[in-house]
Amino acid sequence: MSIARIKLDRIDRKILEELQLDARLSSADLAERVALTASPCWRRVKRLESDGIICAYEARLDPKKLGYQVTAFISISLENGHTKYVHEFEEAVAAIPQVLSCHRISGRYDHQLMVVAEDLEAYGLFAEKYINGLPSVKEVYTSFVLKEVKAPANPPLPPTDFG
């Protein structure tokens, strides 16, 4: 299924750039930064939200400062690729707070999870309690993050259609 890319003009791009830098900007401050009056700026932001380009406003938290010293990527193969089992697995994973992301992937493994834990011992208990008990799990391969080089971020804005 292909989704048509929404065209962004120069002002839309500037609004998105400014909100990525500081999503807490007031409407007036944002309007000033993009050289618009408040009402047209607000309407553009609302359109970007309704078009689904802006899908959330959130605070990014530092896992280490919250006590999570371990980040792991877990690759999982399922015993059965039947849709029912895949959905059961995905629903179970979605309910686990320590799972920060889950992606259905191609290749040797079926899913890749990113999880956090307080330390290696806590990760071991977490894996035993949650990962090994997930529906239809056949194989688990875990890689631990040694250093975060680049944190999760927004995708780059596509090239402008307006030069």
Same domain? For 69 and 41 the reply is no
Q: Stretch 27-41: mean pLDDT, rounded?
A: 96
For residue 99, being part of any structural domain is answered with yes
In a domain, 56, yes or no: no
Instruction: With residue 67 as reference, give the H or E element that holds it.
Output: none
**CA 100 vs CA 65, 74, 115, 137, 148: distances in Å:** 16, 11, 5, 19, 15
Q: Which domain holds residue 78?
A: 64-144
pLDDT digits (tens, 9 = 90+) for 101-160: 999 999 999 999 999 999 999 999 999 999 988 889 999 999 999 999 998 777 888 776
Mean pLDDT of 30-43: 96
pLDDT in tens, 40-59: 999 999 999 999 999 999 88
Q: Is the same domain home to 73 and 130?
A: yes
Asked if the structure places residue 27 within a domain, the reply is yes
Domain count, the chain: 2
Are 72 and 98 contained in the same domain? yes
Say if 119 falls within a structural domain: yes
Q: Say if 152 falls within a structural domain.
A: no
pLDDT for position 157: 83
Query: What kind and span of H or E run contains 18?
Result: helix 10-21
Hey, how many other C-beta atoms are within 10 angstroms of the C-beta on 30?
21
- Tell me the pLDDT tens digit for each residue of 67-90: 999 999 999 999 987 788 999 999
Which CA distances in Å does 3 have to 6, 51, 52? Answer: 9, 12, 12
Do 123 and 88 fall into the same domain? Answer: yes
Q: Residue 126 corresponds to which tokens in the numbers above? A: 């977490």
Together in a domain, 17 and 45: yes
User: Is position 108 within any domain?
Assistant: yes
